[in-house]
Amino acid sequence: MRSTAFGEDFGKRVGIGNVSTLAAAFPGKRPVTFIRHSSDADRPGTTTAAPAESAFSIQVLMRGLVAPKLSFGRAPAEIYRAEAGSVFLFDLEKPPVATFNSPLDNVRFYISRETLRELAAENGLRYGGGLKAPAWGSPDATFANLAGSLIPRFERPHEAATLFVDHVALAFFTHLVTAYGETPTSVGKARGGLAPWQTRRVNDLIEARLSEDVSLSELAAACGLSSSYFSRAFKSSYGRAPYQFLLERRIDMAKGMILRTSMPLSYVAEACGFSDQSHLARVFSRIVGRAPSVWKRDNI
């Protein structure tokens, strides 16, 4: 994962010290970036002017804002209350200046127009160049769920696997184009899933990289598919997303090491691609339903 200066720059402009950034890099394209801004300071804050750029930003409020004021050039806009889960679409060619009158916690999704066009073309989606939100500050369950799924990764960035961040970026892009694009479009289903040779190739690649990071674009390229089509075909074949399958295989590998060796859990975690022992323990407990030590005791 590569980060960009967008999140840090926005944090400086709004006077927020708590800024976390994750990014998904698709080959040859500007990264799709996720930024979390949070501040417990109960005092007004105003962003400074930002340079215009050919990009969009989607803001998802993780907590409500009281009376934020925004202005776009000379056209002022006021929102007297914005609830948690509210979603705002910003065209950064006309960057807003905002005043916040309450503690702030939001997740921003950032994508350039160029990346939007290129991803849409690669994935057979119509995109005319513009975006339009259904309503200013309206709820969007898909964006809210994606933002919520990123919160643990912002808090523990060393555990943010590339494959998971890529998955979120692709889901964000797809929903953005289909729900907010000015030209109505839909996502076709992958018919029949992956071919047998593609299944063998992706299995071999995942097995060879269990202890390493692997990206969605690498898996898709190995199958000769776009990232979007590969993700849908994989789920059709395996019944789950690629990052979920990867985690399950890592846990299977960890189970074998726990039973057959006396290596400490910290060593097992590193060998199986987890950031540390606590990361392995959390994922193991979530997937298996028991802590590693309890599972080992029950299976000796």
Closest listed residue to residue 154, CA positions, set 65, 34, 59, 243:
34
Q: Residues 38, 166: one domain?
A: yes
Q: 234 with 257, same domain?
A: no
Report the candidate in 222, 229, 167, 218 with the shortest Cα–Cα distance to residue 198.
Answer: 222
Nearest-angstrom CA–CA distance, 165 and 61? 20
Single pTM value for the model: 0.83
* Residues 60 and 137 placed together within one structural domain of the fold: yes
40 with 162, same domain: the answer is yes
Q: 9 and 152 share a domain?
A: yes
* 166 neighbors 220 (Cβ within 8 angstroms): no
Same domain (yes/no): 151, 10: yes
Domain of residue 224: give its range: 196-239
Q: Which position has the higher pLDDT, 79 or 121?
A: 121
Separation CA 96–CA 50 (nearest Å): 8
Sign of the dihedral through C-alpha 43, 49, 53, 54? positive
Same domain, 14 and 66: yes
Shared domain check, 284 and 222: no
Q: Give pLDDT tens digits for 228-283.
A: 889 989 999 999 999 999 999 999 999 999 998 888 999 999 999 998 999 999 99
What is the tens place of the pLDDT at every residue in 263-277?
899 999 999 999 899
47 lies in the same domain as 128: yes
Instruction: Report pLDDT digits (tens) over 178-196.
Output: 888 876 565 655 567 899 9
Same domain flag for 147 and 228: no
| Residue 94: how many other CB atoms lie within 10 Å | 10
141-155 vs 162-180: helix crossing angle, rounded to 10: 160
Alpha carbon 180 to chain centroid, angstroms:
18
4 and 97 in contact (C-beta within 8 Å)? no
Residues 100-153 have pLDDT tens digits of 667 778 899 999 999 998 888 887 777 777 888 877 788 899 999 999 999 999
DSSP class of 223: T
- Among residues 205, 218, 275, 286, the alpha carbon closest in space to that of 246 is found at 205
pLDDT band at residue 298 using 50, 70 and 90 as cut-offs: confident
Question: Alpha carbon 214 to chain centroid distance?
Answer: 15
Residue 256 confidence (pLDDT): 93
Provide the domain count of the chain: 3
- pLDDT for the residue 272: 92
**What percent of the chain shows pLDDT beyond 90?**
43
Please indicate, yes or no, if residue 188 is contained in any of the structural domains.
no
Which residue bears the tokens 């953005």?
A: 176
pLDDT tens figures, 35-68: 998 877 665 566 666 778 899 999 999 887 765 5
